[in-house]
Structure 1
Amino acid sequence: MNTFSRLTVTAGIAASSVLLLSVPAFAHVSVQPQGEAAKGGYATVNFKVPNERDSASTVKLEVNLPTEHPLSSVMPQPVPGWKAAVTKARLAKPLTVHGKQITEAVTKITWTSDGGKIAPGEFQQFPVSLGKLPEDTDSLVFKALQTYDNKEVVRWIEEPKEGAAEPENPAPVLTLSAATGDHHGGGAATDDKNAKGHQGGEHGDGGSESAAAASGSDTTARVLAVVGIAVGVAGVAFGVLAGRRRTS
């Protein structure tokens, strides 16, 4: 075997080793924000669930919410083929949100198959709107249980520790960013806009239509201007060519 062949084999073995070592990290149940999850605000997050088995499908997911940081607003987004159930519990210490007392909070969300499944080699995302996010912590831990159709249950409940190796079955962790000036994250800003739109009712529709009309007129004007410039350039080029032919 020549030197080139040896280098090729060595590189292939190294690449395969890296790939094998990196697969488990991508196969964990995880939670990722859609945009920003700022302290004191609201956010929409995705619980990403990959299938780690070759001969079984995932048919159930249970996500436990942190009881030490209860959330006053938890709303799962409908996922085709899955049924979501929310479990609530009474709070030992009520929360005050927007001037109102909240005496109970969601402690668990359970998604069960309603015709859907996560087959081998596939993953599924389960979106949830969360708030109000706490301001006295940098992260939230969501312990999860993943159930397969062969009755196997994988418990993603081990909390990662700073400076330590990643656990075998780490719990999904949502990292919170610094609080914004108005204490609203991306999700809250969207909710506020939607709320204002609903409150405006029929009065808001005319403004929306006017804005849409103005936007359409502006776009049309820009298109016509570009077309006019293109025609002008083509005319100048044609005149130059014609002049050269007459000179010749």
Structure 2
Amino acid sequence: MTNNAIRRLTAVTAAAGLAVLVPAGAAAAHVRSDGAPVAQGGYGVVGLIVPGESELADTVGLTVTIPAGVDLKSARTLPVPGWTANVERQDGRVARIVWTASTPESGFSNAEYQKFSFSAGPWPEGKETVALPSEQKYSDGSVVAWNEVAVDRESEPEHPAPVVALSAADGHDAHGGSTEHEHDHDEQVAASADGSGWQSAVSVLSLVLSLAAAGGVALLLRRDRGA
């Protein structure tokens, strides 16, 4: 094998490894849920993917409104470096969660995205989804509202609200005591502390594949020199 062929093989292998490490759909053009469902009647972690869209300004704020009928008793946010988070309550329930960039430099451009996560509950029973109307604030003062809900599965509005999927309770009593709910709540927070488990597993797999490919390239190079 020639040195040029080896270099091409190494480049392809490196590119493949990086492709595995990049989250799919990170550049979608609206605020959306990461797709992880939460349990009906229980506590769960919601992850919101927020891409920057403006070519003229950075994203510096995100406000998520909890709609009427979704009576979350508590909510905890996952820290985002350079951002502050405030859980606003009204009439004994969580009404809004507001993330704000601490400095202008903490905002992100249209070439970037950020993930904002919170663990909350209890989520309503008897519903398959919950829409979370959101407002994305930019450094030039403009605000984009993501608050429209699709009327059917085939259509998507211009400014869709992120939608959280709700799954049926997995065999335990959804009306259990507060201690059980808080225990589940803490487990969900711990599980999401590093983003998501599958991303970590994929990263490890990508590293192993890259190392194995690099070893194969080195072996071929030695054989080529020996020939």
| TM norm structure 1 | 0.58
Secondary structure at the residue paired with 2:64? strand
Give the C-alpha shift of residue 163 in structure 1. 4.4
Q: 2:31 aligns with which of 3, 17, 29?
A: 29
Aligned to 1:124: 114
Cα distance in 2 for partners of 1:192, 1:84 equals 21
Counterpart Cα distance in 1 of 2:39 and 2:83:
29
* Deviation, structure 1 residue 84: 0.8
Tell me the CA shift for residue 107 of structure 1: 0.3
Aligned partner of 1:113 among 92, 98, 101: 101
Matched letter for residue 136 of structure 2: Q
Asked whether the equivalents of residues 138 and 176 of structure 1 are also in contact (C-alpha less than 8 Å), the reply is: yes
Q: The residue matched to 2:49 in structure 1 has which SS? A: strand
The equivalences for 1:222-237 within 5 A come to none
Distance 1:164 1:88, change over 3 A: same
| Aligned: 1:191 with 2:189 | no
Task: Check whether the contact 2:61–2:138 (CA below 8 A) recurs between aligned residues.
Answer: yes
Work out the number of aligned pairs and report it.
158
- 1:145 corresponds in structure 2 to 135
- Amino acid in the other structure paired with 2:62: L
1:64-91 CA-partner distances (Å, limit 9, x unpaired):
012212111211122110111121111x
Identify if the C-alpha distance between structure 1 residues 166 and 33 changes in structure 2 by more than 3 Å, giving closer, same or farther: closer
Q: CA deviation at 1:45?
A: 1.3
Q: 1:72 aligns to what? A: 73
Q: CA separation of 1:113/1:176 partners in 2, compared to 1, >3 Å: closer, same or farther?
A: same
Matches within 5 A, 1:26-65: 26-32=28-34, 34=36, 36-65=37-66
Match of 1:244 in 2: none
Residue 190 of structure 1 deviates from its aligned partner by 6.3
Aligned to 1:83: 84
**How far apart in 2 are the matches of 1:172 and 1:56?**
22
Give the Cα–Cα distance (whole angstroms) in 1 for the partners of residues 182 and 87 of structure 2.
20
Deviation at 1:32, TM superposition (A): 2.5
Does the alignment pair 1:177 with 2:167? Answer: yes
Measured in 1, the distance between the counterparts of 2:90 and 2:182 equals: 24
Rg larger in 1 or in 2? 1
Partner of 2:207: none
Cα distance in 2, alignment partners of residues 122 and 155 from structure 1: 19
Q: Cα gap change, 1:69/1:151 in structure 2, threshold over 3 Å: closer, same or farther?
A: same
**CA-to-partner distance for each residue in 1:84-129, whole Å, 9 max, x for gaps?**
1121111xxxxxxxxxxxxx01100111110311222100011100
Quick one: which amino acid aligns to residue 30 of structure 1?
Answer: R
- State how 1:194-209 maps to structure 2 within 5 Å: none
Indicate if the aligned counterparts of 2:44 and 2:185 stay in contact, CA closer than 8 A.
Answer: no
Gaps of 5+ in 1: 1-22, 91-103, 195-248
TM-score (norm 2): 0.63
Secondary structure of the equivalent of 2:39?
A: coil
Amino acid across the alignment from 1:26:
A
Q: State the SS of the aligned residue for 2:97.
A: strand
User: Is the 2:45–2:188 contact (alpha carbons within 8 Å) kept by the matching residues of 1?
Assistant: no
**Residues 190/153 of structure 1: CA separation in 2 closer, same or farther (3 Å cut):** closer
Higher helix proportion (structure 1 or 2): 1
- Taking a change above 3 Å as real, the CA distance of residues 183 and 73 of structure 1, as seen in their structure-2 partners, is farther
**Runs of 4+, deviation exceeding 4 Å:** 183-188
Give the structure 1 partner of residue 150 of structure 2. 160
